Amino acid sequence: MFLEIKDIVKSFHNEHVVKTLNFQLEAHQTLSILGKSGCGKTTMLKTIAGLVSPDSGSIILNGERINDKKPSERNIVYLYQEDLLFPHLNIFENIAFGLRLKKLSNTDITERVSQMIKSLELEGQAKKMPNQLSGGQRQRVSFGRAIITEPSLLLLDEPFGSLDAGTRQRMQVLFKKLTKEYQITSLFVTHDLKEAVLMGDKIGYMHKGQLKVYEGKKEFINDPNTGVQHEIAFWDGLKVNSD
């Protein structure tokens, strides 16, 4: 198994925020994670990224226990809603940043960044500065910047939360395309039921610091705790009333 989370526990003072977290994820899969506000989703992602230390338990990535590694040594990217681009760098250089740190040759960088800009459907925007882009375009650049370094694991914390419905839908399609193209393994936290079903190969539901990962989408949809049945009943009710 590519990612194995074993018995992770995290408390802040007396608050047990993450309680005995156990789950696994295969390589190149996306696990969508839903859960009410305050149930511990961000804390879980930050613990895996190394930004928060767990009280106990193990994080195993590609067969290696990474608990004692610094965030920068984990090859994990944590991407959140308001992720900021470097304001003084243009789009090309924002995307190229991680490759320059890795000291790739200029030829390689130009080739890879140009390909990424194409995949992101941002052709013609390379020379613009971040403040000259729309919110959706900025979010695409953030994605490109994260994916181009080929992280072992991508952690997404409600990445499309601030986008309007249409842009959000286009980002979902693009995300699916890019994760396949770049063979990304990811955890995708969202508050949106439909987005969770669309984005995830697997779906998990977090409740009071515990995560349940469903065997399949059918089990998720049929569990009354996830809210899907409630949603279906709502739309069915509208249909009957408008007939």
Radius of gyration of the chain (CA): 19
38 vs 237, which CB is nearer to ligand ATP?
38
Q: Which is nearer to ligand ATP, 120 or 206 (CB)?
A: 206
Residue 125 structure tokens: 């925007």
- CB hemisphere CA count around 13 (13 angstroms): 0
Chain center to CA of 139: 12
Contact pick of 21, 30, 35, 205 for ligand ATP (by CB under 6 A): 35
Query: Which stretch in 35-43, 66-74, 88-96, 220-228 sits in contact with ligand ATP by CB under 6 A?
Result: 35-43
- Which CB, 37 or 107, lies closer to ligand ATP? 37
Is residue 185 a contact residue for ligand ATP (CB under 6 A)? Answer: no
| String of DSSP letters for 94-118 | HHHHHHHHTT--HHHHHHHHHHHHH
Q: Hunting for tokens 């308001």 — which residue is that? A: 82
Q: Would you say 35 and 206 are in contact if contact means Cβ atoms under 8 Å apart? A: yes
Token pair listed for 100: 């320059």
- Residue (84 or 240) nearer to ligand ATP, CB: 84
Please identify, among the stretches 37-45, 65-73, 103-111, 218-226, the one whose residues bind ligand ATP according to the rule CB under 6 A.
37-45
* Among the listed residues 124, 109, 120, the one whose alpha carbon sits nearest the alpha carbon of residue 181: 120
Nearer to ligand ATP, 18 or 77 (CB): 18
Q: Is 130 in the site for ligand ATP (CB under 6 A)?
A: no
Does 40 engage in binding with ligand ATP (CB under 6 A)? yes
Contact 18, 8 (CB under 8 A): yes
Subset of 54-83 contacting ligand ATP (CB under 6 A): none
Q: Residue 32, interface with ligand ATP (CB under 6 A)?
A: no
Q: Is 50 in the site for ligand ATP (CB under 6 A)?
A: no
Q: 16 or 28: whose CB is closer to ligand ATP?
A: 16
43 binds ligand ATP (CB under 6 A): yes
Interacting residues of 189 by C-beta distance below 8 A, sequence separation 6+: 32, 33, 34, 35, 41, 42, 45, 156, 157, 158
Least distance from C-beta 209 to ligand ATP, angstroms?
8
CB 41, min distance to ligand ATP, A? 4
Q: In Å, how far are 17, 139, 206, 211, 243 from 14, measured between CA atoms? A: 9, 36, 20, 20, 53
Considering the complex, state which of residue 57 and residue 98 has its C-beta at the smaller distance from ligand ATP: 57
Alpha-carbon distance 8 to 56, whole Å?
6
Candidate residues 32, 42, 119, 186; the one interacting with ligand ATP per rule CB under 6 A:
42
Q: In what helix (H) or strand (E) does residue 79 lie, and over which residues does it extend?
A: strand 76-80
Please say whether the beta carbons of 186 and 156 come within 8 A: yes
Minimum CB–partner distance for residue 46 and ligand ATP (Å): 8
Residue ranges binding ligand ATP (CB under 6 A): 12, 17, 35, 37-43
